[in-house]
Amino acid sequence: MSKQDSSAKNTLSRRDFLKLLGGAGTALAFTPFVPWGNFMPNPDTTSLSKAKVILPDGTQANVNTFPVNHSEVITYPKTGDRVLDEEAFRKWQFIRLPPELGGEPKDVSAFRVYSMVCLHLWCLWKYWPQEGRKRGECPCHGSMYNVLIGKAFVGPASLQAPPSNVLATLYLEADNDGFLFIKPAKWDVNENGIVGYGRFLKT
């Protein structure tokens, strides 16, 4: 085979490879019922149980002490393995709403928990409590999330079709002393949602 033939062949295979990649991407984008949980890095669904809301300082969050209009990063579900527990797909923004959005009552209604994985391209967003912001903001391409419902309202994530415009969430309960717990999650678009993919808002 001449040098020219062989380089033409290489070019062709590179092109074919790129086409294949493009095809796979398109197939994923248009497959509505992909069993995401089977291959996406969502936390294992088999061992989910009620868990304490543990703050970065190691204490359990309490409705009587957690500041209004404030957020911390929490991990769920925890495995006890430090490397696994650092996965972005286990990181959540635990938010106490600002007063004007209902953050003052000393009960679970004052709190929200959303997956930190942005629904656009999986950067990590966070809550900004400053006056004029009070919303989730993703540093990568500017998507912004409404903290009351977890829905993107600005940026590329807001242009995605449901359920990929609403963040996965966790639901809470409090004991008689105000200590907060995460209720066992179901990674389903009609329940807690799927981290990195989204959630249908309940009507």
Q: What are the residues binding ligand FES (CB under 6 A)?
A: 118, 120-121, 123, 138, 140-143, 155-157
Q: How far is the CB of 165 from ligand FES (least distance, A)?
A: 12
Residue 145, C-beta contacts closer than 8 angstroms, at least 6 positions apart: 114, 125, 135, 136, 137, 138, 151, 152, 153, 157, 167
Nearer to ligand FES, 93 or 174 (CB): 93
Q: How far is the CB of 88 from ligand FES (least distance, A)?
A: 11
Q: How far is the CB of 18 from ligand FES (least distance, A)?
A: 23
Backbone angles phi, psi at 76, to 5 degrees: -155, 135
Nearer to ligand FES, 124 or 189 (CB): 124
Nearer to ligand FES, 99 or 142 (CB): 142
Q: Is the Cβ–Cβ distance between 72 and 89 less than 8 Å?
A: no
Locate 35 and state its tokens: 């069993």
Nearer to ligand FES, 157 or 180 (CB): 157
- Residue appearing with tokens 């066992």: 184
